[in-house]
Amino acid sequence: MSESRPEDFTRLHEAFDIDDPVFAERFEEVLDHLVAKCPVAHSSVGPGYHAFNRYRDVRRAAQDWRTFSSADGWMLNPPEGNIHILPEDLDPPYHTEWRRVLNPFFTAGAVVALESAARSYAGELIDRFVGRGHCEYVADFAAQLPGIILFRHILPVPVADLPVLFKDIDTYSFGPMDERTPAFGRVYAYLQRFLEARAAEPPRGDLVDVILAGVDCNGAPCSWSTSRSMWSSAALPPPRTRCPAPSSRWPAIRRYAPPCAPIRRAWTRPSKKRCDFMRRSWRWAARSAKRWKWAAYPSNPATGWR
């Protein structure tokens, strides 16, 4: 790509697209430009949305769930048939109740208890490529370690099933586009069969039992569909953002966990046009954090945003 002047990024002010190749090719420059020159970008992709670029706006909107709701889904322009990701796609107080029963499995103490096993698995993965003196960091290590820990300790599935399960997860995350949907379907179907089988077994006191028990909603028992969505959300890794191969400008760690993942919030205030709030990672928004004094922020969260 030929070099362009920074002012060329102004096209993103009114024609923002999170899939624009410029985010991969000139990521740091684009972020600096948007934070400095464009507090709120506009997009016409799909039904359209607004993208908040400054820390105070991102932080306040993320905390104001009554105005910016998660209940309509976290994904921008989701594909038809997209499953809800719970508890992310919930608002308080139901979100809070689910967090209450899930949190004990993710406390600092719970994570520390996994450290020895995690180190052992990391060593096993490294042993597979140490002999050749190099690795593809994402495929050989970073994409595998979380799943090994998850499916052996947090959401335990039969160890014998892991090779096929990991192969399909890898295919729908990184494989050819025409193979991703069938692979996702196989993983989803496997997880649903597993949950149904566990429902017929005696409780084991693990996270799967908590998901099966569910959380009552407004006095009504948790539905099977809610528990199923919660289970799928916990067990299925999100699709990877498509990024270029590692280089000095785009290291492998950023390719695995790109810092520009879009998170949607639906604006609930009356409006002639639906407005979706897209929140990026704190790494993006925090570029402007030092510029703002919280006491100066307007009491009305909608004030000051064009």
Q: Contact at 8 Å (CB) between 163 and 174?
A: no
Whether 301 shows a pLDDT value over 50: the answer reads no
- pLDDT tens per residue across span 202-260: 999 999 999 999 999 888 888 888 888 888 777 766 554 444 444 444 444 444 444 45
Q: Are residues 41 and 56 in the same domain?
A: yes
Q: Are residues 99 and 224 in the same domain?
A: yes
Whether 304 shows a pLDDT value over 80: the answer reads no
**Quick one: pLDDT at residue 300?**
37
- pLDDT tens per residue across span 138-186: 778 887 898 899 889 998 888 888 888 888 888 887 788 788 888 888 9
d(CA 81, CA 83): 6
Q: Are residues 120 and 3 in the same domain?
A: no
- Rounded to the nearest 10 degrees, how much is the dihedral formed by the CA atoms of 118, 122, 127, 132? 180
Q: What would you report as the CA-atom Rg of the chain, rounded to the nearest whole angstrom?
A: 21
How far is residue 104 from each of residues 38, 100, 109, 206, 229, measured CA to CA in Å?
A: 41, 8, 9, 11, 20
**Quick one: pLDDT at residue 188?**
85
Q: Residue 205: left if φ>0, alpha if ψ -120 to 50, beta else—which one?
A: left
Domain total in the chain: 2
d(CA 113, CA 283): 29
**Quick one: pLDDT at residue 278?**
55
Q: Are residues 24 and 53 in the same domain?
A: yes
Q: Are residues 162 and 201 in the same domain?
A: yes
Angle at 181 between CA 175 and CA 185, to 5 degrees: 120
Q: Name the range with the highest mean pLDDT among 60-69, 71-80, 201-210, 294-303.
A: 201-210
| 144 inside domain | yes
Please enumerate in sequence order all residues whose Cβ is within 8 A of that of 170, keeping only pairs 6 or more positions apart, or say none.
Answer: 139, 143
pTM (predicted TM-score): 0.72
The phi, psi pair for 50, rounded to 5°, reads -110, 145
Q: Are residues 69 and 180 in the same domain?
A: no
Structural element, H or E, at residue 149? helix 145-149
Exposed/middle/buried for residue 48 (C-beta within 10 Å: 0-12, 13-18, 19+): middle
- pLDDT tens per residue across span 192-205: 899 999 999 999 99
Q: Are residues 119 and 224 in the same domain?
A: yes
Q: Are residues 16 and 76 in the same domain?
A: yes
Which structural domain range is residue 278 located in?
1-82+254-306
